[in-house]
Chain A
Amino acid sequence: MKGLFRRKSTISPSPAAMVLMYLALGIWTLVVLFPLYWLVVTSIKLPIQVIEGPFYLPYVDFQPSLHAWHYIFFDLRNDTLRPYFNTIVVSLTSSTLTLLLGTAAAYGLLRFHYRPRVGAILMFIGCVVLVIVAVNFGMPWQLAVIAGIALLIVLLQTIGRRFKRSLGNNDIAFWIISTRMLPPVAVVVPIYVLFQKLGLLDTLTALIITYLAVNLPIVVWLMRDYFMNIPIELEECATVDGASRYRIFWSIVLPLSVPGLVATFLFVLVFTWNEYLLALFLSSAKAQTLPLIVAAQNATRGPQWWYMSVLILIMIIPVIAMAIVLERYIARGLLVGAIKG
């Protein structure tokens, strides 16, 4: 920040260059803002004004009306407000939970030493595969799971002790973060079947849990990088004073990393707020979120742009407002992740 002000004094662009620069920036500003402007304008048009061709300026070449807003908020009332409410509940709950678990894991990965045995991991995978095969051959799944867990414990207590090779913290961190590479579509069918078995299909709980798993890697990654910059001396002092690890985490580490927490929370919130594919799989009527409602607007009579614009607008206004208010945090949070990653 400071560097920039100084730079202005040393390199000040010539007037001609400045005009060109403003022109370029202005063009991109138009590219960004015009679609949003068009959204607003379309939302206050009557159907006839959309169908008869492009009209650009309200009051100049068409008479604006709030009929679409009225329709969405009063005629459709619950069909709009319930998904809205769902989206708010799902994204807030899920983001908070993700932040909680992810932050704890990121902290643990930096300040503790974990040595999971390679042998134990292989045995675990082996048991999972065995259970799946057993279920496939007609074994009741409850029984198979219990047998699998029992087998795993027996194996761990006997052969498991002989394996000496173990993984380190970086391996665990890499493993958690790399799950972000998984395309959601590769895991969603089993998750669908799982929630069907548990009777949780089309509930908010299912969405919250799924989003938790999907966004956890980002939180671990960003927060791990953030914690790396926190001096360890403070925590050592607190340990000498006899504070417990939980206390240190809660009253020293977390307060120090508020900017990172805010940025990470924002990301996860935006991701869950906008998520479409998983919601498409996991919810059908009751738990529908806003992206689904927007996507479903493609009615048989052709898309009704005026209603759609209103829906898109009410969906993006909260996020955009948040982005404008917290813009500083976003840039910094992203940079920390990108430089270290």
Chain B
Amino acid sequence: MRVKRQLQGSTQTGSGLGALFRLNSRVRGLVGRTDRLAGKVFLLPAVLVVLSLAIFPLIISLYLSFSSFRFVKGGFKINFVGLANYRKLLLGSEKTHFLGVLANPSPFGWLVFIIIAALLAISLVWYIRRGQFSAGGLFWRGLATLVIGSGVWLLVRTLGSGGRPGSLVVTLIYVFIGIFFQYMLGLGLAWLATQGLPGRRFFRTVFLLPMMITPVGIAYLFRMLTDTDKGPFNIIWQVMGLANFSWVNHPWGARMAVIIGDIWQWTPFMFIVLLAALESQSIDQFEAALVDGANQWQIFWHISLPQILPVSATIILIRMIEAFKIVDLPNVLTNGGPGTASESLTLQAYMSWRALDLGGSAAVAYMLLVTVTLAGVCYFNLIHRTVKEKV
């Protein structure tokens, strides 16, 4: 409002001072020239920053991943070694660390794999038979099917008996299990908070808090809480006969602790966005549905949920991109242990860097980048796009 008034004011003075404007024409020529540059002035600094501190290091990093990097007296030495770093990760000495121990899938593993593969194949066939596909769409769909299929194959082989998940699989577990619970909890809480209960503001503020806390702090906090001997839940552990059990010394206990910490921190993000989305829905449809005799559950399932699907698709994508970078929690909470059982990819890259294996570190980082990109592309093409098209 105030701006508008100012604008009107300046219009009046502008017409009143026409003579002065003509006098100023020379100055205005200069202004015009800087004005023509305005586009560049606005965008260029940001582009330069991104170029010099993201794209340029990325290229160098790619080069590093193809080389062995050593600190020598008075500087460093880089030797080009080709694909050796990647070969080491995928086939060589780091294979168990990165991919894990691959075992033959158990019958149950086979069952899971076959079901998912069949589902993927059916969805692909269905997509083709619908008739309205483009070459690009088909390519991305095929790629997504392939990536998900091989991902499930890897999971089945490393998580079955005899197998052991490596950092890649552990990262995938962190990301997908974490996001699943964050979304479900966030959605449930957001729905509860929109039911017109008094005290909504209080819940909204309290539920937001964990998001603000530094992950390092959360890591220590959960180390205290998961301490079965001196932690606050000691009584419960004693009743269950687990008082001497140590979360961080058990592979799945350590992973669980990290996942719980992550869920605790990021459920608020889902909650707050879904709450805002639910609140911005129009009331008319609800009233119409109520008149027709629909119950709460039907209203939620048929009216609310379809409306918040696009927002959900986006926040899950955001969380996915961020969750792949997880490092603080496993590093501080479990130190990646026991052994390397709870190490995420970023942590593995950091450990390699600390061992001065810069080439290996860059290779791990690039594998992470490839994984994030593939996961993002698959998600975007299979789910995000479908959801957005429907609405």
* A and B together in one complex: yes
What is the interface of chain A, defined by CB distance below 8 A to chain B? 1, 3-4, 6-8, 10-13, 18, 21-22, 24-25, 28-29, 31-36, 38-39, 42, 50-54, 56, 101-102, 104-105, 107-109, 112-114, 125, 128-129, 132, 136, 172, 175-176, 179-191, 193-194, 209-210, 212-213, 216-217, 220, 234, 237-238, 241-246, 249, 251-252, 255-256, 270, 273-274, 276-277, 280-281, 290-291, 294-295, 297-298, 303, 305, 308, 312, 315-316, 319-320, 322-324, 327, 330-332, 334-335, 338-339, 341
Chain A residues within 8 Å of B11, by CB: 237, 241
Q: Are B59 and A338 in contact, CB atoms less than 8 angstroms apart?
A: no
Tell me which residues across on chain B come within 8 A of A324, comparing CB atoms: 205
Are B369 and A182 in touch, CB under 8 angstroms?
A: yes
Determine if B49 and A186 form an interchain contact, defined as CB atoms under 8 angstroms apart. no
Max chain B Cβ within 10 angstroms of own Cβ: one of A6, A50, A303, A334: A334
How many angstroms from the CA of A193 to the CA of B281 in the assembled complex? 51
Interface string of B262-284 (1 = CB under 8 A from A): 00100001001101110111110
- A128 interface neighbour in B56, B189, B214, Cβ under 8 Å: B56
Contacts of B43 in A (CB 8 A): 104-105, 108-109, 112, 114, 172
Taking a contact as CB atoms under 8 Å apart, the answer to whether B365 and A38 are in contact is: no
Cβ contact within 8 Å between B209 and A323: yes
Q: Contact at A21–B230, with CB atoms within 8 Å?
A: no
Shortest CB-to-CB span from A230 to chain B, Å, is 11
Complex CA gap A327/B321 in Å reads 24
- Indicate whether A335 sits within 8 Å of B280 (C-beta atoms), given known contacts A54-B234, A244-B31: yes
**Would you call B42 and A112 a contact (CB within 8 A)?**
yes
B53 touches A213 (CB 8 A): yes
Given contacts A213-B53, A244-B34, contact A190 B276 (CB under 8 A): no
Complex Cα gap A32–B212 (Å): 12
Query: How far apart are the CA atoms of A181 and B375 in the complex, in Å?
Result: 11
Shortest CB-to-CB span from A107 to chain B, Å, is 6
A316 CA / B215 CA spacing, docked (Å): 11
Most buried by A among B60, B212, B332: B212
Query: Quick one: which of A186, A244, A245, A256 contacts B58, CB cutoff 8 A?
Result: A186
Q: Are B214 and A294 in contact (CB under 8 A)?
A: yes
* Chain A proximity mask over B75-88: 1 for CB below 8 Å, otherwise 0: 01010100000000
Q: Do A42 and B328 have beta carbons less than 8 Å apart?
A: no
Q: Does B50 contact A (CB under 8 A)?
A: yes
B349 pairs with A185, CB closer than 8 A: yes
Q: What residues of chain B lie closer than 8 Å to A12, measured between beta carbons?
A: 196
Once the chains bind, are A182 and B63 in contact (CB under 8 Å)?
A: no
CA distance A249 to B368 in the complex (A): 39
Chain B minimum-CB-distance residue to A316: B213
B217: which A residues are within 8 A, CB to CB? Answer: 291, 294, 312, 315-316
Known: A35-B221, A114-B39, A270-B212. A190 touches B57 (CB 8 A): yes
Complex: A260 Cα to B376 Cα, angstroms: 27
Interface string of B281-309 (1 = CB under 8 A from A): 11100110010000010000000000000
B146 adjacent to chain A (CB < 8 Å): no
- Give residues of chain B (45-101) contacting chain A, Cβ–Cβ below 8 Å: 45-47, 49-50, 52-61, 63-64, 76, 78, 80
Known: A181-B321, A277-B327. A105 touches B35 (CB 8 A): no
Task: Say which size band chain B's interface belongs to.
Answer: 35 or more
Are A220 and B46 touching (Cβ within 8 A)?
Answer: yes
Q: Contacts A241-B10, A270-B212 hold; do A186 and B368 have CB atoms under 8 A apart?
A: yes
Beta-carbon contact of A129 and B39 below 8 Å: no
Give Cα A252–Cα B233 distance, bound, in whole angstroms: 56
Chain A residues near B349 (CB-CB < 8 A): 183, 185-186
Contact B196 A183 (CB under 8 A): no
Cβ–Cβ < 8 Å partners of A209 in chain B: 53
Distance to closest chain A CB from B98 (angstroms) = 14
Q: A54-B232, A128-B59, A185-B350 are in contact. Are A241 and B7 (CB under 8 A)?
A: yes
Contact indicator A38/B224 (Cβ below 8 Å) = yes
Q: List 12 A-B contacts (CB under 8 A).
A: A21-B195, A105-B45, A132-B60, A189-B358, A212-B53, A241-B7, A245-B38, A315-B214, A316-B214, A323-B211, A334-B273, A338-B315
A11, B224: Cβ atoms closer than 8 Å:
no
Q: Are B275 and A331 in contact (CB under 8 A)?
A: yes
1/0 per residue B197-234: CB within 8 Å of A?
10010011111111111111101111111000111111
Q: A28-B189, A276-B327 are in contact. Are A18 and B197 (CB under 8 A)?
A: yes
Q: A7-B196, A24-B188 are in contact. Are A189 and B361 (CB under 8 A)?
A: yes
Q: A25-B203, A252-B3, A320-B212 are in contact. List 18 more A-B contacts (CB 8 A).
A: A32-B209, A35-B264, A38-B224, A53-B229, A132-B63, A176-B47, A183-B324, A183-B346, A183-B372, A185-B349, A185-B368, A189-B57, A194-B57, A213-B53, A294-B216, A312-B221, A316-B212, A330-B272
A187–B61 touching, CB < 8 Å: yes
The answer to whether A32 and B328 touch across the interface, beta carbons within 8 angstroms, is: no
